[in-house]
Amino acid sequence: MCIFCKIARREERAYVIYENEKAMAFLDINPLSKGHTLVIPKEHYENVLEVPSDVIKDVFEAIKVVCEKLRVFNPDGFNVVSNVGKQAGQVIMHAHIHVIPRYRDEGENPIKFGKPIEIDLEEVYKALV
């Protein structure tokens, strides 16, 4: 069983700050900022794209509650992000969404998407509609 499944079943220790029927939120063990939290579906799905709508509903409700709770630290913004697949940086193969409070006085912002590429948007658009 994966580590996040164990946390969901309370078989592994974590700083759980919120849960509802289908989702759970706990502090990231290697926080990128004060209050960095992970929100997971309690059931195992490999990534967020695999999570059914009824479960996603609870996951997003949990994200909103977590952001409200994190206001105690007076953040200036949040990154709400999920890595899907190894190439995108996903290490734990149990769906999770990072909630990372951001502070004006932080140093370097660790969430970077890199430089924009040169590409014909018309071509991209036509392939997608």
**Residues annotated catalytic, as ranges:** 96
109/5 Cα distance (integer angstroms)? 30
Residue 8 is a binding residue for ligand AMP (CB under 6 A): no
Between 90 and 128, CB nearer to ligand AMP: 90
Site residues for Zn ion per CB under 5 A: 2, 4-5, 44, 94
Between 26 and 78, CB nearer to ligand AMP: 26
CB of 74 to ligand AMP, least distance (A): 23
According to CB under 6 A, which one of 20, 47, 79, 90 is a site residue for ligand AMP?
90
Binding window for ligand AMP (CB under 6 A); candidates: 17-25, 56-64, 82-90, 108-116: 82-90
Interaction mask 25-64, ligand AMP, x per CB under 6 A: -x-xxx-------x--------------------------
Q: How far is CA 74 from CA 16, 34, 78, 103, 108, in A?
A: 20, 10, 11, 8, 18
Q: How far is CA 94 from CA 5, 51, 99, 104, 118, in A?
A: 8, 10, 16, 31, 34
